[in-house]
Chains A and B, each alone.
Chain A
Amino acid sequence: MNTDDIKHLADLSRLELTLEDIDTLSESLPEILNYVSAIEQMTDVKVGNESGEDFGKHYNVFRSDEVTVEPDYFTEDIMNNMPETEDRFLKVKKILKTED
């Protein structure tokens, strides 16, 4: 894993890394990946449940489709945590760059 690989990963992760970050990470990331890749060498793991015992049921859990809190119950508190608002809206930066 070289510096470019790390920069690419950072891009995918929406992170900007400092040179210092890259330095630390280019040492530790390969080391950790090397350690966890022990799992790749395991060729004899079988898919499925070899014991046959039910160790936990998996099923979907649905709730009834109804309103549980009054409209606007959380609105003010949620808006107070927003970095930038305008009236009752969250304000964000431009998505597209325009050439002017």
Chain B
Amino acid sequence: MKTVSHLREDFIEGKTTPTKVVAESLSLIRNKNKDINAFLFEYEEEAVNLAKQADDIYKKGGYEKLPLLGVPIAIKNNILIKGKIVTAASRMLKNYQSVYDATIVKRLKEAGAIIVGATNLDEFAMGSSTENSAFGTTKNPLDKSRVPGGSSGGSAAAVAMGSVPVAIGTDTGGSIRQPASFCGLVGFKPTYGAVSRYGLIAMGSSLDQAGPLANTVADAGLLHKIISGKDSNDATTFEEGTYPKTERKSKYTFGVPEHLLKSGVDESVSKLFYKHLEFLKDNGHELKEVKIPLFEQGLSAYYIVMPAEVSSNLARYDGIRYGLSVEDSDDLLSVYKKSRSQGFGTEVKRRVLLGTYVLSSGYYDAYYGKAQIVRNQMRSQLSKVLQEVDFVVTPTTPTSAFKLGEKADPLSMYKQDIFTVPANLTGAPALTFPMGEVSTEAKDMPVGVQYLGRWGNDFDLLSLGEDIYDKSMIALE
């Protein structure tokens, strides 16, 4: 599908209408979703009605203040949309009807966007392949024998199969960036606190951020502009001016943490990455080797902090106030236990147990306490590095999209997150876009490059990406 900015132009000039575009979007979903399973829900009737209203506004005027008017968009199904079923891809919330709009949904609606459907994910956003969904696996539209990545695999597939120009995902340890890398898209994880978490089904509250998946960096930026900003319903959102501004330059210094590339990265991926670095040099930018030693322990710290927060956050699903409730229990305790056991899938249970373990007395200091110290140290190491260089650049993922069912052992799945978790643990913004394709047995598959920027300077990172992505793609051709 055309980009958001392109659609907007066409709407204004009358070359096409929201009704036509929404109809195209819905028919693509109808045709392709059986195969791909990107969408859990589609909102045909509402979308068609909203499109008609949008047609009128473009004809009669008044669209100026509605930057996304008539643009079809997909929302990950762990973000609340009032009146809709929001499942988090869990049996636990199979029938949960959302009571209010998440702040980001409210802002998208107010900007005129048309939500055409809600997308699949790993249950409660826990996973890197969208194979953990209680409602079936999502497939990669570029090669259906492969995963789209996760946990925002449905949102990535929705954009990659052409049904929407942009989709919203959430990122706790790479859940926007890794699927973007696997599906050949742009993905953006904002600075922690840039985007309101009000109405997001919480996984790891100190790590979660919502952000866009798109075909171009410009579209990702457009979406970020609308969903970001202070929200009185999320006390962790910050105001403009909280973080010092960085100056715009035409030539930048990029930090490359070579020590992170030593192990576990596919040769084809690192080859492509070094080619991308060459491109940066050819364009007059400076490269500098940097050391962020604790990033190597990032994964360990992440798989302590995240399950700890998961076990606390998911304690609310007890079969009492909402969600699955197993009736044939004789007392309150067995309602809790039976509902949780039947409602949660294996990976969710695993993380709840892990979290309970690392938080239990006797282990707390050794695991959670230590992980928090490491996390703070990671932040200060990154901060120091970002005084010497403007951005840190790494591959987004150690491999391209793997096969469905290939990573059955949880630890090998967790290792997918090696390059992405530092941004969540430190709160820094991170952008991924395709850096080229690697050959696999069937066809060439894309893989992303990740740029990590300074806290609060999300729009600088996005405009850098806009400039570099286009040029680097031309250079590849």
Residue in B99, B341, B371, B384 whose CB lies within 8 Å of A16:
B341
Residue in B321, B381, B426 whose CB lies within 8 Å of A82:
B321
Query: Which residues of A sit under 8 angstroms from B360, Cβ to Cβ?
Result: 9, 12
Whether B410 is near chain A, meaning CB under 8 Å from some CB there, is: yes
Whether B178 is near chain A, meaning CB under 8 Å from some CB there, is: no
Name the interface residues of A23-42: CB closer than 8 Å to any CB of B.
24-25, 28-29, 31-33, 35-40, 42
Q: Judge whether A81 and B322 touch: CB under 8 Å.
A: yes
Whether B27 is near chain A, meaning CB under 8 Å from some CB there, is: no
Given contacts A31-B411, A93-B335, contact A25 B383 (CB under 8 A): no
Query: Which residues of A sit under 8 angstroms from B303, Cβ to Cβ?
Result: 32, 35-36
Query: Which residues of B sit under 8 angstroms from A37, Cβ to Cβ?
Result: 300, 366-367
Name the interface residues of A1-48: CB closer than 8 Å to any CB of B.
6, 9-10, 12-18, 21, 24-25, 28-29, 31-33, 35-40, 42, 45-48
Q: Judge whether B341 and A15 touch: CB under 8 Å.
A: yes
Complex: A37 Cα to B299 Cα, angstroms:
11
- How far does the Cβ of A59 sit from chain B's closest Cβ, in whole Å? 10
Q: Judge whether A45 and B366 touch: CB under 8 Å.
A: no
Whether B320 is near chain A, meaning CB under 8 Å from some CB there, is: yes
Whether A67 is near chain B, meaning CB under 8 Å from some CB there, is: no
Name the interface residues of B373-398: CB closer than 8 Å to any CB of A.
373-374, 376-377, 379-384, 387
Q: Judge whether A55 and B346 touch: CB under 8 Å.
A: no
Whether A88 is near chain B, meaning CB under 8 Å from some CB there, is: no
Q: Judge whether A55 and B455 touch: CB under 8 Å.
A: yes
Query: Which residues of B sit under 8 angstroms from A45, Cβ to Cβ?
Result: 294, 370, 373-374, 377
- How far does the Cβ of A18 sit from chain B's closest Cβ, in whole Å? 8
Is chain A's binding surface mostly helix, strand, loop or mixed?
Answer: loop
Q: Judge whether B243 and A32 touch: CB under 8 Å.
A: no
Whether B197 is near chain A, meaning CB under 8 Å from some CB there, is: no
Given contacts A28-B410, A32-B410, A93-B329, contact A81 B97 (CB under 8 A): yes
Given contacts A9-B356, A47-B373, A95-B332, contact A32 B349 (CB under 8 A): no
Residue in A35, A46, A57, A90 whose CB lies within 8 Å of B300:
A35
Q: Judge whether B99 and A74 touch: CB under 8 Å.
A: yes
Query: Which residues of B sit under 8 angstroms from A94, Cβ to Cβ?
Result: 330-332
Q: Judge whether A53 and B411 touch: CB under 8 Å.
A: no
- How far does the Cβ of B30 sit from chain A's closest Cβ, in whole Å? 30
Given contacts A10-B353, A42-B370, A92-B320, contact A28 B409 (CB under 8 A): yes
Name B residues whose Cβ lies closer than 8 Å to a Cβ of A.
96-97, 99-100, 232, 235-236, 242-243, 294, 297, 300-301, 303-304, 311, 315, 318-323, 325, 327, 329-338, 340-341, 344, 346, 349-350, 352-354, 356-358, 360, 366-367, 370-371, 373-374, 376-377, 379-384, 387, 409-411, 414, 426-427, 455
- Interface pairs (8), CB distance under 8 Å: A9-B357, A14-B336, A15-B341, A29-B350, A81-B321, A82-B322, A95-B332, A97-B331
Known: A37-B366, A55-B426. 6 other contacts (CB 8 A): A9-B353, A21-B349, A49-B380, A50-B380, A61-B236, A80-B97
